[in-house]
């Protein structure tokens, strides 16, 4: 069983070393053209820190030979990549990279080694260094997702705006002549009057009268049908006289 685990570990180490060696073609191009072009340098700095910490963890672990070999090889390759990038990088990029390498790969790594060797002992030392390596590795692999977050939020907000537009695109906005309240009163006619130019107003004209409710009209009709013929004739005569008087007053004005 132990031999099988060792063989699987060797196969895993070979694959990991091939992964660490995959950027060789990129850096061969950088050296050939003597320019870093648009290649990113931050992944190599973070990978150098990760492989260095895992190498230190393998040294602390009693049976950590495979861990030391694969991560030691990875740390050497990443260090070569960082040096080549610093050689051909622009001055502004080179300054930023030097500051980060000094802070992360030198100062932080030295702090971890000192704290682990001087402040921690036994299994606690191995546990703390191991947890730190795991957290750093997970963060390194999850870092590219930061670029996905703004795009995901933009997609969600854009989809929401599109849905709102599709729902309300057929609705026309309110104009001045449309009442806001549900009641159809004098404000409706006043709004219409405000929209008419002053020159178009006719002397003697008035606001449109509201129609009587259907219920009142029905009641009057029933009352009229129940009247005797003589009373109904007098009622019609009075209404005709009132209409004639109203027409005369309007013409006089």
- pLDDT tens digits, residue range 183-242? 444 444 444 444 444 444 444 444 444 444 454 555 555 555 555 555 655 666 676 676
Over range 92-100, report the average pLDDT: 90
End-to-end, the C-alpha distance of the chain in Å comes to 118
Angle at 40 between CA 34 and CA 44, to 5 degrees: 95
- DSSP for residue 120: -
Q: What is the spatial distance between Cα 55 and Cα 59, in angstroms, rounded to a whole number?
A: 6
CB 179 within 8 A of CB 187: yes
pLDDT tens figures, 5-55:
778 878 888 888 888 888 888 888 888 888 887 788 888 898 999 999 999
Q: Count the neighbouring beta carbons within 10 Å of the beta carbon of residue 245.
A: 10
Helix axes 91-100, 65-88, angle to 10 degrees: 150
Residue spans of the domains in the chain: they are 2-145
Neighbours of 86 (CB within 10 A): 15
Is the overall model pTM greater than 0.95, yes or no? no
Q: How far, in Å, are 22, 78, 91 from residue 37 at the CA level?
A: 18, 19, 13
61/250 Cα distance (integer angstroms): 112
- pLDDT computed for residue 188 by the predictor: 46
Q: CA 211 to CA 142: how far, in whole Å?
A: 72
């Amino acid at each position: 069983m132990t031999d099988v685990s060792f063989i699987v570990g060797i196969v895993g180490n070979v694959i990991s070393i091939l992964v660490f060696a995959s950027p060789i073609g990129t850096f061969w191009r950088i050296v050939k053209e003597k320019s870093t072009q648009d290649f990113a340098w931050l992944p190599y700095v973070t990978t150098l820190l990760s492989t260095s910490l895992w190498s230190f963890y393998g040294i602390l672990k009693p049976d950590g030979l495979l861990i030391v070999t694969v991560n030691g090889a990875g740390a050497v390759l990443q260090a070569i990549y960082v040096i080549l990038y610093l050689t051909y990088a622009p001055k502004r990029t080179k300054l930023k990279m030097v500051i980060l390498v000094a802070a992360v790969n030198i100062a932080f790594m030295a702090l971890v080694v000192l704290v682990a060797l001087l402040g921690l002992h036994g299994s606690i030392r191995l546990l703390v260094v191991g947890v730190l390596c795991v957290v750093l590795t997970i963060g390194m692999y999850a870092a590219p997702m930061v670029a996905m977050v703004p795009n995901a939020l933009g997609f969600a907000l854009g989809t929401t705006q599109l849905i709102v537009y599709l729902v309300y695109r057929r609705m026309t906005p309110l104009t001045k002549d449309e009442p806001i309240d549900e009641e159809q009163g004098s404000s409706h006619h006043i709004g219409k009057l405000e929209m008419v130019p002053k020159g178009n107003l006719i002397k003697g004209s008035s606001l449109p009268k509201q129609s009587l409710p259907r219920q009142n009209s029905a009641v009057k009709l029933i009352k009229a049908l129940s009247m005797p013929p003589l009373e109904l004739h007098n009622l019609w005569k009075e209404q005709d006289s009132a209409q004639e008087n109203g027409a005369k007053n309007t013409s006089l004005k």
